Amino acid sequence: MTGYPPEPWHLAGQAYVSVWRVPTEDLPALPTGAEPVILGSRAQVVTAWIDYQDPGQLSYHELLSTVAVRGRGAAASITEIWVDSEVSLAGGRALWGIPKDLAALDFRHGSTFTATAATGDDWIATAAFTRRLGAPFPVPSRFEVVQTLDGRLKRSPVTSKARPHLARADWAVNPGGPLGYLTGHRPVANLHLRDFTLRFGG
């Protein structure tokens, strides 16, 4: 099955997010016309393990890496992303130019959330998140995702609500894999975005 919902997608679930500061020379390629946000010669990279759950339109697992870019407010470009859903892969590529690939993603929820991602070629990354204090109520956010679609820069709006919790995270990244540019770096912040709801696209 590769039929996918029209945009916007209405999704829900759990997200485990890390923020990294990466030297500009180590960044992966960005879409033509997208400029990274640079602070002190470093770019801001955000990675996320996302478990899309009911009552959202689709249920699947995802690992992604994004680079903060200049935009009309907060904006990011997705440089690497893996899902375990052919429907999500087809829709993400066709609707928004998101370069989704398939991977085996294993998530274990509990007092510590653990996740692994691998393809038939090799492992990509593993992580463990332990949630700490957080907000007792949902906090809204708004940003845009900047990709290339049909040879043009496409800016897709995203709005969401979640209860953010600070977290401790331990990552292992395959230095020879597609996220190898994170090797040798540690996240500067980690969050569990608990019980999020999200609207993606126009």
Q: What pLDDT band is residue 2 in, cutting at 50, 70 and 90?
A: low
105: left (phi over 0), alpha (psi -120 to 50) or beta: beta
Looking at residue 25, its pLDDT comes to 94
Average pLDDT over residues 111-133: 95
The proportion of the chain whose per-residue pLDDT surpasses 90, expressed as a percent, equals 92
Q: What is the largest CA-CA distance in the chain?
A: 46
Q: Is the pLDDT of residue 111 over 60?
A: yes
Query: Quick check: 52 and 87 in contact, CB under 8 A?
Result: no
Q: Is the pLDDT of residue 121 over 70?
A: yes
Cα dihedral across residues 66, 143, 7, 15: positive or negative: positive
**Is 90 exceeded by the pLDDT of residue 13?**
yes
Q: Is the pLDDT of residue 78 over 90?
A: yes
Residue 8, pLDDT score = 98
Q: Average model confidence (pLDDT) for the chain?
A: 96
Please write the tens of the pLDDT for every residue from 127-182.
999 999 888 889 999 999 999 999 999 999 999 999 999 999 999 999 999 999 99
